[in-house]
Amino acid sequence: MNPPDPAVLAMRRAELVRLFDTAPIKHLFGMVLTYDDQGSAVFDLPYNPGLDHALKGTHGGAIATLLDNAGWFTVAPHFDTWIATVEFSVRLHQPVAATHLRSIGRVVRLGQRLSVAEMEVRTDAGALVATGSGTFTVTAASRG
């Protein structure tokens, strides 16, 4: 697969940030999407007590959402159609409570139909909370 022109990637990333800013889940969780200099999606999640489980730690489902988002938004700009998550894995390395979390994605493989990303979640102090990988497929739905 030939990668899109850097200007096209930058335009698509900006479009995805604008789109995410309208998503109800962004406001429910309090997540913020940016892209780093390497083109990886970065999600910041300020501590949100509404995402805690009964023992007052951040729920693994919230951490899984950060992983899925980081992978999807890292891969998505490389395609002129929408993509869909086929599957993703989650490895929770340690419990975390009452702290800001950051997830980041990294493209492993861009294919014609299937692409793979690796993702991680860390605390502000840099402690590794979770890692994962995801497979994403191209859809027929135009981004247009």
**pLDDT tens track for 88-115:** 999 999 999 999 999 999 999 999 999 9
Over the stretch 27-59, which tens digit does the pLDDT of each residue have? 999 999 999 999 999 999 999 999 999 999 999
- Asked whether residue 142 carries a pLDDT value surpassing 80, the answer given is no
pLDDT band at 2 (very low <50, low <70, confident <90, very high): confident
Coil, strand or helix at 1 = coil
CB-CB neighbours of 102 under 10 Å: 18
The yes or no reply on domain 6-142 and CATH 3.10.129.10 is yes
* Token representation of residue 57: 């730690």
- Determine the Cα–Cα distance for residues 52 and 4; give it in Å rounded to an integer: 40
Query: What pLDDT does 34 receive?
Result: 98
d(CA 72, CA 70): 6
What ranges in the chain are assigned the alpha helix state H?
6-20, 24-29, 60-75
The DSSP output letter for 31 is -
Q: What does the domain layout of the chain look like in residue ranges?
A: 6-142
Let me know: does 117 contact 71? Beta carbons within 8 Å: yes
- Token pair recorded at residue 56: 């007052």
Provide the pLDDT confidence category of residue 144 given band limits of 50, 70 and 90: low
Average pLDDT, the chain: 96
pLDDT for 143: 73
Separation of alpha carbons 143 and 38, rounded Å: 23
pLDDT at 62: 98
- What is the Cα 7 distance to its own chain's centre? 21
